[in-house]
Amino acid sequence: MTQAPPRGFPDDEYQQRCALAQTKLAELQLDALFVCTEPEVRYFTGFHTPFWQSPTRPWFVIVPAVGEPIAIIPSIGAPMMDETWISDIRTWSAPQPEDDGVSILADTITSLGLARIGVPMGHETHLRMPLADWNALQAAVPDVTFSDATDIVRSMRMVKSDRELAKTAHVCSLVSDGFENLGSLLSMGMTEREAFTAFKIDLLQRGADDVPYLVGASGHSFTDVIKQPSDRVIEAGDLLMFDTGTMWDGYSSDFDRYYAFGHADDDAQRAHHVVWDATEAGLNMLRPGVTTTDLWKAMADVMIEGGSLGNDVGRLGHGLGMQLTEWPSNTATDETVIEEGMVLTLEPGMTFAPGRMMLHEENIVIRADGPEMLSRRAPRDMPVIG
Amino acid sequence: MTQAPPRGFPDDEYQQRCALAQTKLAELQLDALFVCTEPEVRYFTGFHTPFWQSPTRPWFVIVPAVGEPIAIIPSIGAPMMDETWISDIRTWSAPQPEDDGVSILADTITSLGLARIGVPMGHETHLRMPLADWNALQAAVPDVTFSDATDIVRSMRMVKSDRELAKTAHVCSLVSDGFENLGSLLSMGMTEREAFTAFKIDLLQRGADDVPYLVGASGHSFTDVIKQPSDRVIEAGDLLMFDTGTMWDGYSSDFDRYYAFGHADDDAQRAHHVVWDATEAGLNMLRPGVTTTDLWKAMADVMIEGGSLGNDVGRLGHGLGMQLTEWPSNTATDETVIEEGMVLTLEPGMTFAPGRMMLHEENIVIRADGPEMLSRRAPRDMPVIG
């Protein structure tokens, strides 16, 4: 495992983000950016809590084209927001269904004279406030135009700072250790549920903050790759897939591994070679300037050559950072130009026989001269346990 | 710990939910209910995966006023949805930003002849799809009216079935065991982070599926009650607060406990007595027919009498079930009539000295003759560790 980097970010990390957002706001002739989701609020303020799991209260941040961000939040969050670099914090006692922050938000917009506000409305974004409240806000400030500002957050969040990269690298290193140790943790005769719990506990003991995402499957044949564990007993000849999004200081890993128990059947071992080779093909062509579509094609070609019967996942990897999956997507049509500082997962997957799915996923960062591994490269031969 | 109930639900649990939703749709003269969030999709279908943590893909379910629900989902979810009671499953290969399920959704609405569609738009609801896609959907079916149907899901989800209650009771029992054992797990000299990790691992070892929510604080004084752990070392004279939402088979507990290390100072111990007595006052008056406002007042009166300096949390407990917090809220103005089968948390909280917050939370279910504990009642004296 790598040495853990410092927790949190110094204020200048957030100041740089806001300055860049303000440059982009000026280009788009917008007066402000409005955000209300967990990653977006955290990205601009540093406000970081699992309390977002409660759907009750909305949280708002305005990044004006000039000046510092304003947090408009329920009073329960004030002590935490006070610890961040944000100094303009406006609160109300939520929940108040009849007016849950809408008036204070509208008053802020009006008093700042904001006329054109950008809001993330595009792919992979959500509006985390009740739709009725969104409509009420628009009615309360009828002269204000709200337009799509997805590109601002998308373009900014896709390119990671060195400080962000250090967090992702750390959690990927820790999870790599966990995967490499799996043979000593698991054995035939365990149930899926026991195996999942053992791995989760092992990752926590290695220093992970949390393992919010652990899915997988076991057996000779499976196609469901977003599944929670069952009480199925793992037997000789089984494959086991683990796909985990493990977190450290608010940054996620997302890579999966396949293991065989007792022995690996020839078809599965061959399929493992194909997806490993597809990953290798991606690694070999990745550099700033190529597109996600080029990357998709490099991996897809190897799998077609290797006898793929198709893939229902919809993409061959994606961005990674504060969330388990982020922009962009490695698809046939995505066409995002890959830049230095992007973190991607390479996730070739294919149905290699009827009812049998094989996935493989590595995490990398794009450097000036090509990819740098964040996950530790899996072996080409699928490991056999027991 | 209680004996674990069966996992999942038999089909008739979902059939009853849909039948009740259809009765309510008829009352409101709506042709269908449209849902797109994790708990709502799971509530009507049984589709259960942590894959919702990926923000990339939208998921849609239509419950028509007559007939069976229709799932319109990314193909990656088809194997899992196939395992549920849903038979009408329509898929597309997501992500496809240019049309991520909007056409197939619009086509379904049109082919079914749906003219009036209810959508949860009110308090505690979100629209989990890009706002631009929501606008595109409305443009694609211009003759369809979408109106607020929050009351349908709110009124249904607030009253739990016996099968749901068994899951909540099981996880509450398991977490009660964990809290009662905390004295043997924690000690002075540990950091907050070590203490949090030890408790998380302990809960997993006791059979919890996951511990997605664990927040708290330590020290003589704190007011931030939604905080993640720091590297602060726990010392003699400290208070420790743990608030956890632990999950079992998709149902959550949510109760917190305070502990003192070495000794409890008089002010803190007195405050613990006050919030415990406030909980007791709530338990003593709870029965079907009283309101959340009556409940709030019963608890608030005890805290005012006990010297409360206020409370920034905004409510004194809330509903509980598939999510960490659900409708209703125990506030001065909520006025929800409490019914048999509702699960509530009683969470009196108060600032008992400047900068010092005390919370106390129990989980109960309302039976015909009053409340039944789901969490095991905490002792009135704050436990002292070490």
List, for residues B139-186, the tens digit of each pLDDT value: 999 999 999 999 999 999 999 999 999 999 999 999 999 999 999 999
Contact of B93 with chain A, judged by CB distance below 8 Å, is answered with yes
- Angle at CA of residue A39, ends A35 and A43, nearest 5°: 80
CATH number reported for the structural domain that contains residue B333 in this entry: 3.90.230.10
- The whole-number pLDDT of residue A2 equals 67
- Residues from chain A that touch B123, judged by Cβ atoms under 8 A, are 56, 95, 97, 100, 130
pLDDT in tens, chain A (386 residues): 568 999 999 999 999 999 999 999 999 999 999 999 999 999 999 999 999 999 999 999 999 999 999 999 999 999 999 999 999 999 999 999 999 999 999 999 999 999 999 999 999 999 999 999 999 999 999 999 999 999 999 999 999 999 999 999 999 999 999 999 999 999 999 999 999 999 999 999 999 999 999 999 999 999 999 999 999 999 999 999 999 999 999 999 999 999 999 999 999 999 999 999 999 999 999 999 999 999 999 999 999 999 999 988 899 999 999 999 999 999 999 999 999 999 999 999 999 999 999 999 999 999 999 999 999 999 999 999 99
Query: In angstroms, rounded to a whole number, what is the distance separating the alpha carbons of residues A353 and A347?
Result: 18
Radius of gyration of chain B (CA): 23
Residue A5 lies in a domain: no
Tokens of A273: 């070679």
Same domain, A65 and A184: no
Contact of A313 with chain B, judged by CB distance below 8 Å, is answered with yes
Of the CA atoms within 13 Å of residue A61, those in its CB half-sphere come to: 22
- Residues from chain A that touch B227, judged by Cβ atoms under 8 A, are 49, 79-80
Same domain, B276 and B322: yes
- Residues from chain B that touch A315, judged by Cβ atoms under 8 A, are 95
Q: Which of B52, B56, B75, B335 to mutate to test the interface with A (most CBs of A within 10 A)?
A: B56
Residue A53 lies in a domain: yes
Report whether pLDDT(B101) > 90: yes
Distance from CA of A255 to the nearest CA of B (A): 14
Answer yes or no: do B124 and A225 touch at CB < 8 A.
no
Answer yes or no: do A318 and B227 touch at CB < 8 A.
no
Same domain, A135 and A164: no
- The whole-number pLDDT of residue A1 equals 58
Query: B80 near B45, Cβ under 8 Å?
Result: no
Same domain, B20 and B98: yes
* Mean pLDDT value of segment B53-63: 98
Which residues are CB-neighbours of B361 under 8 A, at least 6 positions away? B243, B254, B255, B256, B317, B345, B346, B347, B375
Q: Which of B157, B190, B214 finishes a domain?
A: B157
* Amino acid in position B190: M
Answer yes or no: do B54 and A324 touch at CB < 8 A.
yes
Residue among A48, A79, A223 minimizing CB distance to B223: A79
Contact of B125 with chain A, judged by CB distance below 8 Å, is answered with yes
Same domain, B128 and B199: no
- Residues from chain A that touch B225, judged by Cβ atoms under 8 A, are 76
Answer yes or no: do B318 and A56 touch at CB < 8 A.
yes
Residue B1 lies in a domain: no
Place of tokens 């038999």: B10
Same domain, A116 and A194: no
How many C-beta atoms surround the C-beta of residue A339 within 10 A? 12
- Which residues 1-20 on chain B approach chain A with CB closer than 8 angstroms? 7
User: What sign for the dihedral angle of Cα B294, B299, B301, B304?
Assistant: negative
Overall domain count for chain A:
2
Instruction: Decide the pairing of beta strands B362-367 and B343-346.
Output: antiparallel
Query: In angstroms, rounded to a whole number, what is the distance separating the alpha carbons of residues B272 and B284?
Result: 18
Residue B5 lies in a domain: no
Distance from CA of A303 to the nearest CA of B (A): 18
Same domain, A109 and A212: no
Contact of B77 with chain A, judged by CB distance below 8 Å, is answered with yes
Q: Which of B124, B157, B190 finishes a domain?
A: B157
CATH number reported for the structural domain that contains residue A96 in this entry: 3.40.350.10
- DSSP output for B240-304: EEEEEEEEETTEE--EEEEEEES---HHHHHHHHHHHHHHHHHHHH--TT-BHHHHHHHHHHHHH
User: What sign for the dihedral angle of Cα B75, B78, B80, B85?
Assistant: positive
Q: Which of B42, B82, B123 to mutate to test the interface with A (most CBs of A within 10 A)?
A: B123
Query: B152 near B24, Cβ under 8 Å?
Result: yes
* Mean pLDDT value of segment B349-378: 97
Closest residue of B to A313, CA-based? B76
Tokens of B146: 């979408």
Tokens of B199: 């408790």
Q: What is the ipTM of this complex?
A: 0.97
Place of tokens 């960062």: A365
- Residues from chain A that touch B148, judged by Cβ atoms under 8 A, are 132
Residue among B50, B121, B204 minimizing CB distance to A130: B121
Strand partners, A49: none
Query: A318 near A347, Cβ under 8 Å?
Result: yes
Residue B6 lies in a domain: no
Contact of A232 with chain B, judged by CB distance below 8 Å, is answered with no
Among candidates B357, B362, B359, B366, which has minimal Cα distance to B376?
Answer: B362
Residue among B7, B213, B314 minimizing CB distance to A95: B314
Residue B308 lies in a domain: yes
Answer yes or no: do A324 and B121 touch at CB < 8 A.
no
- The whole-number pLDDT of residue B204 equals 98
Closest residue of B to A249, CA-based? B228
Contact of A56 with chain B, judged by CB distance below 8 Å, is answered with yes
Same domain, A144 and A292: no
Q: Which of B128, B157, B186 finishes a domain?
A: B157
Same domain, A130 and A202: no
Same domain, B143 and B54: yes
Same domain, A54 and A199: no
Strand partners, A73: A91
- E-strand ranges in A207-348 read 210-219, 239-248, 251-252, 255-261, 318-319, 326-329, 343-346
- Residues from chain A that touch B128, judged by Cβ atoms under 8 A, are 126
pTM: 0.98
Backbone angles phi, psi at A133, to 5 degrees: -70, -35
Contact of A119 with chain B, judged by CB distance below 8 Å, is answered with yes
Same domain, A182 and A284: yes
Distance from CA of B30 to the nearest CA of A (A): 18
Query: B313 near B347, Cβ under 8 Å?
Result: yes
Answer yes or no: do B54 and A215 touch at CB < 8 A.
no
Residue B3 lies in a domain: no
Residue A114 lies in a domain: yes
Query: In angstroms, rounded to a whole number, what is the distance separating the alpha carbons of residues A106 and A32?
Result: 13
Domain extent at residue B142: 11-157
